[in-house]
Amino acid sequence: MPNRVRTAVFPVAGLGTRFLPATKAMPKEMLTVVDRPLIQYAVDEAREAGIEHFVFVTGRNKGVIEDHFDRQYELEHTLESRGKLDALSELQKDLPSAGQSSFTRQQEPLGLGHAVWCARELVSDQPFALLLPDMVFQARPGVLKQMMETYEQTGGNIIGVEEVDPKDVSSYGIVARGAGPDSGFKITGMVEKPKPADAPSNLFISGRYILQPEIFSLLGEQTKGAGGEIQLTDAMQMLIRTQDFTGVKYAGKGFDCGSKLGFLTANVVFALDRPDLAEAFRNEIRGLI
């Protein structure tokens, strides 16, 4: 039986330059899909999967994320005094319990691999989940929960994957698929942003991982790779030589909310999935097109 995954890491130190000027004073992770911040979707997904400790790797001007996962007594008192108990209950439901959240700083923008390495002392020598908040999923059950079900059977390292149009593989990290079903197949290799002719598959790494703690020592020794940054994929390519990696082609659809098109699409899809908004919003869309 593999060690239980209790901790999730959320890298939230990025500058969000693709959304300037909106992200000049507000973290991109606090941009909302309908009425929930991107980071809240990731935390909700982790909580559904049984995560108990939420580790946020932050940077400068990210204090509002910490505030979001804290109590706001004045707001709660105002909602209670005005009888808005449903809204109050929703706020309280979203909060991690006392002591469940930890925050650490990535002091330089040295890439995703470096951000993960910054969480090493908080994760310690246990397996952990890694969730990139830019990716938001419409999936029931959530993507991480689907991956956890596979992890309980296989152990090792798990990567969530989704199909992409073969002509677009050069924008993603792509895995090589070995034997096994969609719910858990052997990953035999991975490559970052290959040319379509060189891609081993059309399955892209979609920002959800379960990783063993040995990744930290590899990241600590990692030299800078593409873009002058410490790349997580480079460390995983080294770890795959000694540990198993399993791919999960999850049931659901992901939206890259780090891009404007993905962000706008996610807002439309999630609004149409809301019983309180769907009909009126659909009518508005019909009127526009």
Residue 227, pLDDT score: 65
Q: Taking 90 as the threshold, does the pLDDT of residue 240 lie above it? A: yes
pLDDT band at 217 (very low <50, low <70, confident <90, very high): very high
To which residue do tokens 């901790």 refer? 7
Q: What confidence score (pLDDT) does residue 15 get?
A: 81
Quickly state the pLDDT bin for 232 (edges 50, 70, 90).
very high
Look at strands 157-163 and 245-249 and give their pairing: parallel
Question: Contact at 8 Å (CB) between 20 and 258?
Answer: no
> How far is it, in rounded angstroms, from Cα 137 to Cα 51?
17
Cβ burial 66-82 (10 Å sphere, 16+ → b, else e): eebbeeeeeeeeebeee
Please provide the CATH number assigned to the domain covering 7-288.
3.90.550.10
Report how far apart, in Å, the C-alpha atoms of 239 and of each of 133, 178, 188 are: 24, 17, 12
Mean pLDDT, residues 273-283 taken together:
95
10 backbone dihedrals φ, ψ, rounded to 5°: -125, 105
Rounded to an integer, the average pLDDT of 233-260 is 95
pLDDT over 80 (residue 126): yes
Q: What pLDDT band is residue 14 in, cutting at 50, 70 and 90?
A: confident
Where are the chain's structural domains? Answer: 7-288
What's residue 118's pLDDT?
96
Report how far residue 78's alpha carbon sits from residue 262's, in angstroms, rounded to the nearest whole number: 35
For 129-179, the pLDDT digits (tens) are: 999 999 999 999 999 999 999 999 999 999 999 999 999 999 889 999 999
Q: How buried is 194 (Cβ within 10 angstroms: 0-12 exposed, 13-18 middle, 19+ buried)?
A: middle
Average pLDDT, the chain: 92
Tally of CB atoms within 10 A around 241: 6
pLDDT digits (tens, 9 = 90+) for 19-48: 989 888 889 999 999 999 999 999 999 999
Tell me the C-alpha to C-alpha distance, in Å, between residue 57 and each of 133, 159, 258: 12, 20, 17
Please say whether the beta carbons of 232 and 112 come within 8 A: yes
